[in-house]
Amino acid sequence: MKYYQMSDKVLLENWDGTESVGLYMRSHALMQTKTGDVFVDYTDSDVGAPFEGALICDLDDEDSNGIFPTFFRSPALIGTKAFYQDLLEIGIRNIEVHPVIIHDRTNHRTIEDYVLLNVIGRVPCEAMDDLVVDTGKLGQLELFLVHEDTNCILVSERVYRHLINKGYTDIFFEEVKQM
């Protein structure tokens, strides 16, 4: 089976001058995201507590009229509800999901079409300059983070084909080498 790195296509500027929107995390300030493990929130406790409530984010005021992507990789993996449903449709279950509330202070609106997607599963990869996946270490994972760089999301060929067939145009896929 082949594996692909999945990332957002960063559209710096559209033909009409609009840009992709950016987010700032406003709640759960001391929570580490993209760890490959269940969320632990250290905001109110040194020992940590389970994540509770919605993740609150603000739109960057400079591009609040920009393009909303299928998913954000910063400040956390935040995807549309439809994107999450498409992952569920193909049987992806190793995701911890929480609501996200995005405040657009410039346009005085609240956006609730996104969810926080915490991918559970992190796999070591060889040679980060030229990403190589040891398929013997994957087990049944079809969506996971790279241990050495948790901003790197890998998907199986089955997930790749499913998302391509769904018509996503703002997701970039690149095949990775395998051992």
pLDDT tens string, the chain, 179 residues long: the values are: 899 999 987 655 554 555 677 887 888 777 778 888 888 877 777 777 788 889 999 998 877 777 888 998 888 899 999 999 999 999 999 999 999 999 999 999 999 999 999 999 998 887 666 788 877 778 788 999 998 888 899 999 999 999 999 999 899 999 998 87
Residue 136, burial from CB neighbour count under 10 angstroms (0-12, 13-18, 19+)? exposed
**In the prediction, which pLDDT does 57 show?**
92
**In the prediction, which pLDDT does 32 show?**
79
**In the prediction, which pLDDT does 78 show?**
95
- The length of the chain is 179
Three-state DSSP class for residue 3: strand
- Taking residue 101's Cβ as centre, other Cβ atoms within 10 Å add up to 16
**In the prediction, which pLDDT does 100 show?**
96
Q: What are the start-end ranges of the E strands in 26-170?
A: 40-41, 49-50, 55-59, 71-72, 78-80, 95-104, 109-111, 114-119, 122-123, 125-126, 132-133, 143-146, 149-156
In this structure, what token pair is assigned to residue 64?
A: 């609040």
**In the prediction, which pLDDT does 92 show?**
97
**In the prediction, which pLDDT does 91 show?**
97
**In the prediction, which pLDDT does 75 show?**
86
**In the prediction, which pLDDT does 13 show?**
52
Sign of CA dihedral 53, 57, 31, 97: positive
Amino acid at the residue 173: F
Q: Is the pTM of this model over 0.85?
A: yes
* DSSP class of 148: T
